[in-house]
A and B are shown apart, each in its own frame.
Chain A
Amino acid sequence: MVAVFQFGRRPKNPKKILKAIAAEKKSGRGQDASAMSSVLLAPATTLDTATAAPLRYIFEAKGIAKKFDDGQVQALRGVNFRVSQGDFLAITGPSGCGKTTLLQMLGALDRPTKGTLLYRGNSIPDLHDPSSYRALEIGFIFQAFHLLPTFTALENVQIPMFESRLPRSERRDRAVTLLESVGLGHRLKHFPAKLSGGERQRVAIARSLANSPSVLLADEPTGNLDSENARVILELLIRIHCEQKMTVVLVTHDMNIAQRASRTIQMKDGRIVSDRESINAGV
């Protein structure tokens, strides 16, 4: 099944594509749902050597463009890049350069006006069920945390799990484990209003890991935090990346954070102006 979609002979039924992706994930780290130690320490997706080469890139963008407001605003102008499995990629650039738009495309939150955008060889805009893709493949971390205010930390982490069909008790156990792993085992029943900014973002990170995604997409995850909390959050993301070999794509305009990434893409006016490995990478 893996080979079927890896070598371009994609199943015509898009649901089959997602099934195939899920099967591949399972074969690589099927044991990662039971405890946080295994959540964070689970091996990255291991591909069959015969099929690994074509799937070296988890994301591939070819000439993607995005226009808003009937073409009056062009957010992306022919962007080309590849993200490898296990990359820790920082996208930087001034406000309005198109980095958040690019993140939206990767997360199937928006569609490019032009170009090709692939996830493990499958076109993201053509996904039949983008909800499943967002729920099971992607973990989102937002600048403003976006925790639901009427739910406790424990409940917030369980919110994405409704799409995973896990039994209620397993959802809860998994959420407890995730919160403990981000150092919030003592804050399970606290509502977001009773948490500090750093704690809220840690809850959001635990939430992003709820369904054991393949990729974390983080939009300015430290943008609303003081320097100390920003450092803690960045270390946490790096730890998750290292322990799980998880692919992380992080949008930031803070060059100090970008320098910790293994690779940095710099954007300007909807184009990639530089793409380089970081010299002082902390990962």
Chain B
Amino acid sequence: MTFFTVITRGLIRRPVRTGLTILGISVGIAAVVALVGISRGFSKSWETGLKARGTDVVVSNMVSSLVPKPFSASVRDRIAHLPHVDATCDILVDLLSIENAQMIMVSAREWGGFSWNNLKLISGRMPRDVAEPAVLLGRTAADVLKKRVGDKIQIETSELSVVGIVDGNAWVENGSVILALPMFQEITGNQNKINVIDIRVTPSTSAKDVELLCEEINRLVPEGRAVLAGENISKSEAYRMVQAMSWGTSLLAVLVGVLGVMNTMLMTVFERTQEICVLLALGWRRGRIIRMVLWESALLGLLGGVAGVLIGAVGVKFLGMTPAIRGLLEPDLSMSLLAISVAIAVAVGVISGLYPAWRSSQLVPGRALQS
């Protein structure tokens, strides 16, 4: 028998209460995994999408919302001639409700721009010309919209043809409806407006030069902000707010977990008062009693954390398959997030056990002789 045996016996003596407490912590941790995983996934999906398009620098105005604010297409003229700029591609991107999909990414690209190059046809063909009323669907978008090549698709008031299904090599790309820029500008009444400029820098441009290029663009273009691909979302205030809300909601759930564990451990200490007094009478040091309560509490947290990570991961995968989210983002279930979640759970356990442990250390061994 080891000290660990003593700790586990303390937990299994009330299996229902222990189980419910673990469930309570796991719900809190599942909330952390799900909410933070989704918000992180949103940023990561954008980053991989941009990288898949071969974009090194992106110019957009992401300050106030998750969708960039439109600006004049003439901005491109101020950028295209700058040193180290290899190519640019104007884009108008929006989140729209299309037919049965509550929210789907529509990405309208400059005809002939490099951002079309990463798209690989799975079926059908590319649009013939800029004037053809046609769209390409990412493979997930086709699945979500239940469309095949040859079907019609209603975007706002216009009906367009699905001419091809493509693989864009990134979650966001695969979840998008892709069409020529002028067509979408006309449909949405955003003539001559864009909200993203993808920039590809010349090969062998140093990181320092890319940084200087961003600074130069920011000086020349007050309408938008140039940042390295992938950083644009994380610098958005809206995204930061979503992330803060995710953590806030998660922490509330965790706080409920703390109270749950504290309640359980206090009950344990009260229930085992005489037992603890007997242990003291048998010569156990107060430090050992404190360690026993804290380890029990930490073990509760650990078990709750592991269960929470599993529930959260399954839940996020399930959420990712729902029509509202499918194709929009790939939840980030990185090892770091899972490890942080388990660490939070263990910390919850230890913090919750502090007061009960202190209470247990205040017990008087003489009570052991009171039958």
Residue of B nearest to A223 (CB): B371
- Distance in angstroms from B272 CB to nearest chain A CB is 9
Q: Hey, what's the 0/1 contact readout for B257-284 against A, CB within 8 Å counting as 1? A: 0000000000000000011001111111
B274, B278, B280, B281 — which one has the most chain A CB atoms within 10 A of its CB?
B281
* Given A109-B366, A110-B366, A158-B1, A131:B278 Cβ within 8 A: no
* Given A149-B13, A171-B1, A134:B281 Cβ within 8 A: yes
- Distance in angstroms from A137 CB to nearest chain B CB is 9
A149 to B288, CA, bound (A): 19
* Given A146-B274, A146-B278, A158-B1, A163:B9 Cβ within 8 A: no
Q: Hey, what's the 0/1 contact readout for A98-135 against B, CB within 8 Å counting as 1? A: 00100110010110000000000000000000011111
A171 to B280, CA, bound (A): 19
A154 to B275, CA, bound (A): 17
* Given A131-B283, A134-B282, A150:B9 Cβ within 8 A: yes
A60 contacts partner chain B, Cβ-Cβ < 8 Å = no
Main secondary structure of the interface of A (DSSP, over half): helix
A104-B369 in contact (CB<8A): yes
A103-B284 in contact (CB<8A): no
Residue of A nearest to B287 (CB): A131
B356 contacts partner chain A, Cβ-Cβ < 8 Å = no
CB-CB under 8 A from A134, the residues of chain B are 280-283, 365
Q: Hey, what's the 0/1 contact readout for A130-157 against B, CB within 8 Å counting as 1? A: 0111111010101110101111001100
Q: Hey, what's the 0/1 contact readout for A8-40 against B, CB within 8 Å counting as 1? A: 000000000000000000000000000000000
CB-CB under 8 A from B12, the residues of chain A are 150
- Distance in angstroms from B323 CB to nearest chain A CB is 50
Chain A, 159-196, CB within 8 A of any chain B CB? 159-160, 162-163, 168, 171-172
- Distance in angstroms from A191 CB to nearest chain B CB is 11
- Distance in angstroms from A169 CB to nearest chain B CB is 11
Other-chain residue from B2, B13, B283, B286 in contact with A160 (beta carbon distance below 8 A): B283
A212 contacts partner chain B, Cβ-Cβ < 8 Å = no
B368-A109 in contact (CB<8A): yes
B285 contacts partner chain A, Cβ-Cβ < 8 Å = yes
B5 contacts partner chain A, Cβ-Cβ < 8 Å = yes
B41 contacts partner chain A, Cβ-Cβ < 8 Å = no
CB-CB under 8 A from B10, the residues of chain A are 150
- Distance in angstroms from B180 CB to nearest chain A CB is 72
- Distance in angstroms from B131 CB to nearest chain A CB is 79
Residue of B nearest to A146 (CB): B278
A219 contacts partner chain B, Cβ-Cβ < 8 Å = yes
CB-CB under 8 A from A110, the residues of chain B are 364, 366
CB-CB under 8 A from A159, the residues of chain B are 6, 279, 282, 284
A168-B2 in contact (CB<8A): yes
Chain B, 7-33, CB within 8 A of any chain A CB? 9-10, 12-13
The chain B residues found within 8 Å of chain A, CB to CB, are: 1-3, 5-6, 9-10, 12-13, 274-275, 278-286, 288, 364-366, 368-369, 371
5 closest Cβ pairs, A-B complex? A135-B283, A134-B283, A109-B366, A150-B9, A160-B282
Contacts A/B (CB < 8 Å), 21 sampled: A109-B369, A110-B364, A131-B284, A131-B285, A132-B283, A138-B283, A140-B368, A142-B369, A142-B371, A146-B278, A146-B368, A148-B275, A150-B12, A155-B5, A159-B279, A160-B284, A162-B284, A163-B285, A163-B288, A171-B1, A207-B282
The chain A residues found within 8 Å of chain B, CB to CB, are: 100, 103-104, 107, 109-110, 131-136, 138, 140, 142-144, 146, 148-151, 154-155, 158-160, 162-163, 168, 171-172, 207, 211, 219
